[in-house]
Chain A
Amino acid sequence: MSEAWTVAGSAIAQLVLFVALAPGVNGVVKRMKAALQGRNGPPILQPYFDLMKLLRKDTVVSEHASAITRWAPIVYASAFATAALLVPALWWPAPLGGWGDAIAIVGLFALARVALALAGLDAGSAFGGMGSSREVAVAALAEPALLLALLAVGWRTGGTDISSAGLWVNDHAAAVLAPSQLLALVAMFVAVIAETGRVPADNPDTHLELTMIHEGMLIEYSGRPLGVLVWATLVKQLTLFSLLIALFVPFGMARAALDAPLAIAAFGAKLLLLAAVMAVVESASAKLRILKLPELLGAASALAVLALVAELVVG
C-alpha cells in the first residue's frame, strides 16, 4: 500500500511541478529570442499573466460546434499531463514509469493530436481544417523520427523504458559522446522542434492564417478553454524538453531526498541551456515551406536509423 502512496505522491508532485514550470520555460525562451533579435521582449512571467487572463475570460463557441469542441481541451490536457508523468525530470524513476514507456508517450501525444485536430475541423472553418490537415501530415513524419530516436537511445537497456534508458546513460557518462547517442540526439532534437511547433516546422508566434499549423486548430477557441489548451501545449513542450534531458544528459537527478537541491539546480541549468539552444535555432532559421518538411524530418528518421546502426556496429 505504501508503494501506491509513493507513486501517487510522486505523480502529484511532478504534475504540479510541470504545470507550474511550463509557462515559465516558454517565457525564458521568448526572452532569449528577443535578446538575440535585439528586442527587449516580454517579461519572463508574461505567459502566466496571459494564462490567468485567458482562464478568467468568458468564452465564445461557434454555433456549428459540437460536443467535440467542448471535450477536446480536456482530452488534450489530460493526455499531455499523463505523458508528463511518464518522463523522469527531477528524480528517478518517472512517477508512472511502471505504467507506460516511450511508445505510450508517443501514443498519448497521438491522442492529444486527434482531439485537437478534430476540434479544428468541428466549426467548419477553413482555417481549422487547414491547421488539422497540416498538423497530422507533419506528425506523420515526426512520429517515426521520434520513436526511432527513442528506440535508438533505449536500445542497450531493452528499448522502450525511459527511466532505465536514462539511468544507463547516467551510470555510463562516457556514453554521452558515443556516435549512436549523438546521432539519436540530433534526430530527436529535430522531432522535438516539429512536435513543439517551432521554427522551422511551424511558427509559435504567427497568427497569419496561411502559414500556421498549431494556431490554426485553435482559431475557434477563446477564453477559458483556450487557456487550458495553451497551458497543455506548454506542458507538452516541457515534457519533450525533459525527455531530451533524461535521455541524453540525465546527470544529477535525485535518487533520494537528500539529492534534491542538486537535482533542482541541474534540471534548471539544463532547461536554461536547452531554452538557449531553441532560441538560437529559432532565430537563426526561417520557417520551411510545409512541402520541404519531409526532407528535414525524413533526414531525422534516417539519422535515427543510423544511430541504431552505429549502436549495432560499435556496440
Chain B
Amino acid sequence: MPGPLPDLVLTWQLDGLGAFFAALIAVVSGLAAVYAVGHRSHGPGFRGSGLLFALFVLSMVAVVLAADAFSFLAAWETMSLASFGLVLTDHRRSDVRRSAWMYVVMTHTATAFIVVAFLTLARATGSLSFADWSARSSGLDATTASLVFVLGLLGFGTKAGMIPLHVWLPRAHPVAPSHVSAVMSGVMIKLGIYGLVRLTFDWLAAGPAWWGSLVLILGAASAVLGVLYALMEHDLKRLLAYHSVENIGIILLGLGTAIVGRSLGLPGIVALGLTAALFHVANHATFKALLFLGAGAIDGAVGTRDIERLGGLIRRMPGTAICFLIGSAAISALPPLNGFASEWLTFQALLSLGRSGVNAATALLPLLAGGALALTGALALACFVKAFGVSFLALPRSPRAAAAHDASVLELVPMATLAAACVALGVGASPTVALIGALVPSATLGGGLALGPFDTSSGRLALPGIALALACVGGLAAAAPRLLGRVSTRVGETWACGVTLHPIHGYTSTAFAKPIRLMFRGIVRPVRDVEIVRRAGTRFAASIRYRAQVAPVFERYVYRAVTETLVLGAHLVRRAQNGSLQTYLAYLFVALLATLVLAR
C-alpha cells in the first residue's frame, strides 16, 4: 500500500462535463456580480466581501477542474469556507450567525463523508488521481463500491440539498446577500450533482440496481417535500430555497434513471436520464438565479422578504415583475419555457426506464416517480402563483410596499438576461440538448456510453412549434372579437360586497396555501394558534391573533436524535477528561501498548 500522499502535486484537467459546469458557474456568477454592483441596499458587511466572492467563484471552477482527490478536496473546502464567509456577510445579526453555523457544520459533515469515500477509493485503487480511479474502477469489489457510493451520496447529497440532508439550505440561503444566494442556489449546490455524476459514471463501475433506485426514491421525496415546504413559507427567499430542494429532487430523478440504466446495461436510458438531469441543472441555474435576484430586488426596494407585507409591486416595479414572472413560469414548468423542456425530458427518461422494465417491480418505481414529478409540477405552479400573485398583484399591504421603486439598471440587466435565457433554453431545447450531448462525450462516462442522440420515438415535443401555435392562436383570440365591433373599457371598483376595498381583503400567502396545507396536513403537520381576547362580559372579540406554521419535522425527528446522541457521546468522553496528569499518562501508556501490539 502506498503512502497517504504519494506525490502531492495538484493536477487539473478540463473535460466536457467539467466545461459544462464551469460555463454555468461563469455565466451565473458573472451576472450575479454585475447585479451586486447595482444593488442599492447592501448590509454593512458588504464592503470587502468582493474578494471572498471572487475566491468563492474561483474555488467552484477549481472543483470542476480538479483531476485528483487532493486538488478536489482543497477546492471543495475553499468553496465551503468562502461561501460560509459570504453567508456571514451580515454577521452582526444573531440569526445570521446561527444559520451560518448550521451551514458550516452541515457542509463539513458532508466533506467528512466525501473524504472517507475518497480515501476508500484511494486505498482500493492505490492512487489519488481521478484518471486512475476511472481506469481501475472495474477492479473494485462490490462491497467497497457500494460503500463508496453511499458515502458519496451522503456527502454530495448534503451539498446538493437532498432530503433529508437539506436542512441547511432554507437557513443559509435567506440570510446571505441575494447575489450570493443566487450563485449558491444556482450553481454551488449543483456541484453536489457534479460530484454524484463523477462518482457514479466516472469513478465507479456500474453498480447494483438499488443504487439508482435509492437515488430515484430520494429524488422523488426531495421533489415533493421540497415543494410542499416551499408552499408553507412566506419568506420569499426561504420559499426559493425550498424550491432548490425540489429541483434537486427533479435532477436526481433524471440522474437516478441514468444510474439504474447503467446497472441494467441500457445505454439509451443512461443518455436520456443524464441529459435530462444536466439539462435541468442548466435550467434551474438560470431560473433560480433569476428568482433570487428578483427576491433581492424586492428586499432592496421594500426592506422585507415577507410576502405578507408586499403586494401591488407590479405597478411600482414593472421591470422586476416581468423578470420574476418569466422565472416563475419557467420554474412552474410552463411551455414553452426551459423548465418544461427539462421536466418533459425527465418524464420521458422515467417512462423509458419503466417501459424497458425487466419485470413489473422495476417498472413501477420509475412510474411512481413520474407521478411524484407530476404532483411536484402542479404544486410548484401553485407555489409560484402564490409567490408572484401575492407579492406583485392586488393592493400593497405595507406602506413601504406602496412606495417601492423599481430595481436599478445594473440589477435589471442581469435579471433580463437570465429571463431571456429561460426563453431561449426552452424554445431552443433541441440544440441545447444536442450541445449537452456533445459536451459530455463518452470518454468521461466510462464504459463507452455516449450521450445522445437518444430515442425519442416515445413522445414528441417541438417547443418552437408550440410557441408559434400559441402566438398565432393568441393573436387570433385578441383580434377575432374585434370583428364584432368596438367596445369601450371603463374603469371601476373591485367588487368587495359593497364595502370599500381594503388591502386586507386580498389573499395573503398563508391564506392562499391553506387548501393545500389542509389537504397535505398529514405530511406538513400544520400547527395553528388562535388567540381571541374578548371584550369583558361579551362574546365579541377585542383582538384575534392568528399564527400558523408547520412543524419542523426533519429537525425534530431526525436531527434532534443525532444531536442528542452526539451530546450524550460528548458527556461520556468528558468523563475520561478528568484533568489529572496521571490519568493522561496512563492513556498514553495504554495507547503505546496498543500500537505496539496492533502494529507488530
State the A residues within 8 Å of B (CB).
Answer: 11, 15, 52, 55-68, 73-75, 77-79, 81-82, 85, 96-104, 106-108, 110-111, 113-114, 117-118, 120-130, 132-134, 136-144, 147-148, 151, 155, 158-161, 219-220, 223-224, 227-228, 232, 290-291, 293-294, 301, 304-305, 308-309, 312-313
Q: Which of A68, A107, A232, A293 has the most CB of B within 10 A?
A: A107
Closest chain A residue to B474, Cβ basis: A78
Whole-angstrom distance between the Cβ of B346 and the nearest chain A Cβ:
10
Q: B334 to A137, Cβ gap below 8 A?
A: no
Q: A290 to B382, Cβ gap below 8 A?
A: no
> Given the complex of chains A and B, what is the CA–CA distance between A52 and B484 in angstroms?
9
Interface residues of B in 246-291 (CB under 8 A from A): none
State the B residues within 8 Å of A (CB).
Answer: 311-312, 314-315, 329, 332-335, 340, 344, 347-348, 351, 355, 357, 360, 363-364, 367-368, 370-371, 374-375, 377-379, 381-382, 384-386, 388-390, 392-395, 457-462, 465-466, 469-471, 473-474, 476-478, 481, 484-485, 487-496, 501, 503, 505-507, 511-516, 518-519
Closest chain B residue to A69, Cβ basis: B393
Q: A68 to B314, Cβ gap below 8 A?
A: yes
Q: B515 — which chain A residues lie within 8 A by C-beta?
A: 133-134, 137-138, 290-291
Q: B340 to A151, Cβ gap below 8 A?
A: no
Q: A158 to B512, Cβ gap below 8 A?
A: no
Q: B494 to A309, Cβ gap below 8 A?
A: no
Q: A144 to B491, Cβ gap below 8 A?
A: no
Q: A74 to B478, Cβ gap below 8 A?
A: yes
Closest chain A residue to B516, Cβ basis: A137
The answer to whether residues A63 and B355 also contact, given A132-B507, A143-B377 and a CB cut-off of 8 A, is no
The answer to whether residues A130 and B381 also contact, given A63-B493, A77-B477 and a CB cut-off of 8 A, is no
Whole-angstrom distance between the Cβ of B525 and the nearest chain A Cβ:
16
Please pick, from B484, B487, B494, the residue contacting A64 in the complex, using a CB distance under 8 A. Answer: B494
> Given the complex of chains A and B, what is the CA–CA distance between A57 and B512 in angstroms?
32
A-B contact pairs, 8 of them (CB 8 A): A58-B489, A102-B459, A110-B377, A124-B312, A124-B394, A144-B374, A155-B355, A304-B371
Q: A132 to B493, Cβ gap below 8 A?
A: no
Please pick, from A59, A117, A130, A161, the residue contacting B460 in the complex, using a CB distance under 8 A. Answer: A161
Closest chain B residue to A78, Cβ basis: B474
Q: B487 to A56, Cβ gap below 8 A?
A: yes
Q: B485 to A56, Cβ gap below 8 A?
A: yes
Q: B370 — which chain A residues lie within 8 A by C-beta?
A: 147-148, 151
Please pick, from B333, B395, B514, the residue contacting A124 in the complex, using a CB distance under 8 A. Answer: B395
Q: B469 to A140, Cβ gap below 8 A?
A: no
Q: B386 — which chain A residues lie within 8 A by C-beta?
A: 136
Q: A100 — which chain B residues lie within 8 A by C-beta?
A: 335, 460-462, 465-466
The answer to whether residues A107 and B344 also contact, given A73-B477, A126-B507, A224-B481 and a CB cut-off of 8 A, is yes
Q: B395 to A159, Cβ gap below 8 A?
A: no
Q: B378 — which chain A residues lie within 8 A by C-beta?
A: 110, 136, 139-144
Closest chain B residue to A134, Cβ basis: B515
Closest chain B residue to A96, Cβ basis: B469
Q: B374 to A147, Cβ gap below 8 A?
A: yes
Whole-angstrom distance between the Cβ of A295 and the nearest chain B Cβ:
10
> Given the complex of chains A and B, what is the CA–CA distance between A52 and B480 in angstroms?
12
> Given the complex of chains A and B, what is the CA–CA distance between A210 and B367 in angstroms?
37
The answer to whether residues A98 and B462 also contact, given A78-B474, A114-B334, A137-B519 and a CB cut-off of 8 A, is yes
> Given the complex of chains A and B, what is the CA–CA distance between A312 and B461 in angstroms?
26
Q: B473 to A15, Cβ gap below 8 A?
A: yes
Whole-angstrom distance between the Cβ of A211 and the nearest chain B Cβ:
13
Q: A148 to B459, Cβ gap below 8 A?
A: no
> Given the complex of chains A and B, what is the CA–CA distance between A118 and B370 in angstroms?
27
Extra 6 A-B pairs, beta carbons < 8 Å, given A96-B466, A114-B332, A123-B494 = A66-B393, A99-B469, A108-B335, A125-B496, A147-B370, A232-B477
Q: B487 — which chain A residues lie within 8 A by C-beta?
A: 56-59, 223-224
> Given the complex of chains A and B, what is the CA–CA distance between A118 and B384 in angstroms?
10
> Given the complex of chains A and B, what is the CA–CA distance between A168 and B55 in angstroms?
59
Q: A161 to B458, Cβ gap below 8 A?
A: yes
Q: A57 — which chain B residues lie within 8 A by C-beta?
A: 487
Q: A144 to B375, Cβ gap below 8 A?
A: yes
The answer to whether residues A63 and B516 also contact, given A99-B462, A107-B344, A126-B506 and a CB cut-off of 8 A, is no
Q: B513 — which chain A residues lie within 8 A by C-beta?
A: 133
Please pick, from A11, A155, A291, the residue contacting B519 in the complex, using a CB distance under 8 A. Answer: A291
Please pick, from B357, B394, B503, the residue contacting A123 in the complex, using a CB distance under 8 A. Answer: B394
> Given the complex of chains A and B, what is the CA–CA distance between A117 and B388 in angstroms?
11
> Given the complex of chains A and B, what is the CA–CA distance between A187 and B280 in angstroms?
30
Q: A114 to B329, Cβ gap below 8 A?
A: yes
Q: A147 to B371, Cβ gap below 8 A?
A: yes
Q: A107 — which chain B residues lie within 8 A by C-beta?
A: 333-335, 340, 344
Q: A61 to B347, Cβ gap below 8 A?
A: no
> Given the complex of chains A and B, what is the CA–CA distance between A124 and B311 in angstroms?
9
Q: B385 — which chain A residues lie within 8 A by C-beta?
A: 114, 117-118, 121, 132, 136
Kindly list the 7 A-B residue pairs having the minimum CB-CB distance in the complex, ordered from nearest. Answer: A129-B507, A78-B474, A160-B459, A99-B465, A124-B394, A158-B458, A137-B515
Q: A59 — which chain B residues lie within 8 A by C-beta?
A: 487-490
The answer to whether residues A124 and B481 also contact, given A63-B492, A107-B333, A151-B351 and a CB cut-off of 8 A, is no
Q: B495 to A74, Cβ gap below 8 A?
A: no
> Given the complex of chains A and B, what is the CA–CA distance between A96 and B379 in angstroms?
28
Whole-angstrom distance between the Cβ of A159 and the nearest chain B Cβ:
4
Q: A74 to B474, Cβ gap below 8 A?
A: yes
Q: A141 — which chain B residues lie within 8 A by C-beta?
A: 378, 519
The answer to whether residues A136 and B364 also contact, given A77-B474, A97-B460 and a CB cut-off of 8 A, is no
Closest chain A residue to B334, Cβ basis: A111
The answer to whether residues A312 and B360 also contact, given A60-B492, A73-B477 and a CB cut-off of 8 A, is yes
Q: B505 — which chain A residues lie within 8 A by C-beta?
A: 124-126
> Given the complex of chains A and B, what is the CA–CA distance between A118 and B328 in angstroms?
12
Q: A103 to B344, Cβ gap below 8 A?
A: yes
Closest chain A residue to B471, Cβ basis: A78
Whole-angstrom distance between the Cβ of B142 and the nearest chain A Cβ:
29
Please pick, from B374, B381, B382, the residue contacting A148 in the complex, using a CB distance under 8 A. Answer: B374
> Given the complex of chains A and B, what is the CA–CA distance between A308 and B357 in angstroms?
12
Q: A99 — which chain B residues lie within 8 A by C-beta?
A: 460-462, 465-466, 469
Q: A220 to B495, Cβ gap below 8 A?
A: yes
Q: A66 — which chain B residues lie within 8 A by C-beta?
A: 314-315, 392-393
Q: B469 — which chain A residues lie within 8 A by C-beta?
A: 11, 78, 82, 85, 96, 99
Q: B476 — which chain A residues lie within 8 A by C-beta?
A: 15, 78, 81
Q: A120 — which chain B residues lie within 8 A by C-beta?
A: 389
The answer to whether residues A158 and B459 also contact, given A56-B484, A63-B494, A139-B378 and a CB cut-off of 8 A, is yes
> Given the complex of chains A and B, what is the CA–CA distance between A120 and B389 in angstroms?
9
Q: B462 — which chain A residues lie within 8 A by C-beta?
A: 98-100
Q: B379 — which chain A residues lie within 8 A by C-beta?
A: 140
Q: A121 to B477, Cβ gap below 8 A?
A: no
